[in-house]
């Protein structure tokens, strides 16, 4: 186990040390103390290592992650796991706005609540939120799965492309072009796997699926006045 005191040694040294890890590294477990809400912790990793942050983080923790597993034993600030490519980011507490924004792959697990714009423009990532999500979540989401065990705020899935949204609780309102859809066997199977991987205690049958009505895909002259 490599231990790193962020307050004493500084952010740049931390990220340089983590970036130095190769695929065959022996230093596979890292523990970061005194994060104190600092920004850009464990950003841009590209090695199969496990990084545990003991405390809450600021902006962009685990951003652009590849391969690594980053766990935050606290809450995360805005833009956690932004543009993640692969690997796993787990937040034990809450996440601030735009968690998992634009992420292409991997799994983001938020054990508490996520704030507004969770999964905005997601491009293939899987996001599982154990609590609730805020307004404008999955705005322009393109692909991937957003699973919410609690409730969703206003304008869920506005201008959605092909991402799947699964909500167990209530949805305050759906955004433009986002509709309720049937749950098919393959969706139940996907949900089952994601819930298990995210250590979430819920049954796939309890969820409702939402997706794109695909009405906004093409220009419609009848809507001209709305543009």
Partner 1 sequence: MCGIVGLFLKDKKLEPELGNMLTDMLITMTNRGPDSAGIAIYGNDADDNSKLTVQSDNPAKDFKGLKKAIKKATGIKVSLTKKDTHAILKMPTKDLDKVRTALKKTRPDIRVMSAGDTIEIYKEVGLPEDVAKRFDLRSMTGTHGIGHTRMATESAVTTLGAHPFSTGTDQCLVHNGSLSNHNSLRRKLRRAGVVIETENDTEVGAAYLTWKMQHGSTLGEALESSLEDLDGFFTFVVGTKDGFGVVRDPIACKPAVMAETDQYVAFGSEYRALVNLPGIEDAHVWEPEPATVYFWKH
Which positions lie near partner 1, rule CB under 8 A? 36-38, 56, 58-59, 75, 77-78, 94, 96-97, 115-117, 134-136
Quickly list H helices, 49-88.
none
State in angstroms the smallest separation of the CB of 141 from partner 1. 18
Q: Which is nearer to partner 1, 126 or 158 (CB)?
A: 158
Q: Which is nearer to partner 1, 77 or 106 (CB)?
A: 77
Q: Which residues are registered as beta bridge partners of 130?
A: none
The 8 Å CB, 24+ separation contacts for 178-182 are 178/138, 178/210, 178/211, 178/212, 178/213, 179/210, 179/211, 179/212, 179/213, 180/208, 180/209, 180/210, 181/209, 181/210, 181/211, 182/209
Contact 49, 27 (CB under 8 A): yes
State in angstroms the smallest separation of the CB of 163 from partner 1. 21
Q: Which is nearer to partner 1, 30 or 59 (CB)?
A: 59
Q: Which is nearer to partner 1, 75 or 121 (CB)?
A: 75
Contact 115, 134 (CB under 8 A): yes
Contact 15, 35 (CB under 8 A): no
State in angstroms the smallest separation of the CB of 17 from partner 1. 22
State in angstroms the smallest separation of the CB of 97 from partner 1. 7
Q: Which is nearer to partner 1, 47 or 61 (CB)?
A: 61
Reduced to 3 states (helix: H, G, I; strand: E, B; else coil), residue 187 is helix
Reading the block at residue 145, the tokens are: 């799965």
State in angstroms the smallest separation of the CB of 154 from partner 1. 9
State in angstroms the smallest separation of the CB of 45 from partner 1. 22
Q: Which is nearer to partner 1, 75 or 145 (CB)?
A: 75
């Amino acid at each position: 186990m490599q231990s790193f005191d962020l307050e004493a040694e500084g952010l740049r040294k931390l990220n340089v040390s983590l970036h130095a890890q190769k695929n065959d590294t022996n230093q596979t477990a890292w523990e970061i103390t005194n994060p104190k809400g600092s920004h850009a912790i464990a950003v841009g990793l590209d090695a199969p290592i496990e990084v545990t942050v003991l405390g809450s983080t600021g902006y962009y923790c685990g951003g652009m992650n590849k391969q690594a597993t980053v766990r935050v034993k606290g809450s995360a600030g805005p833009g956690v796991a932004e543009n993640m490519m692969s690997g796993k980011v787990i937040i034990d507490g809450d996440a601030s706005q735009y968690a998992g924004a634009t992420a292409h792959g991997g799994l983001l697990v938020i054990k508490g609540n996520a704030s507004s714009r969770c999964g905005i423009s997601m491009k293939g990532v899987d996001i599982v939120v154990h609590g609730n999500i805020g307004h404008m979540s999955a705005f322009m989401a393109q692909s991937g799965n957003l699973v919410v065990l609690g409730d969703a705020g206003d304008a869920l899935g506005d201008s959605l492309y092909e991402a799947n949204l699964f909500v167990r609780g209530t949805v305050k309102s759906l955004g433009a072009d986002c509709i309720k859809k049937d749950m098919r066997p393959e969706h139940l199977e996907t949900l089952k796997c994601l819930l298990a991987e995210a250590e979430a205690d819920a049954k796939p049958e309890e969820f409702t699926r939402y997706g794109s009505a695909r009405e906004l895909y093409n220009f419609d002259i009848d809507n001209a006045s709305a543009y």
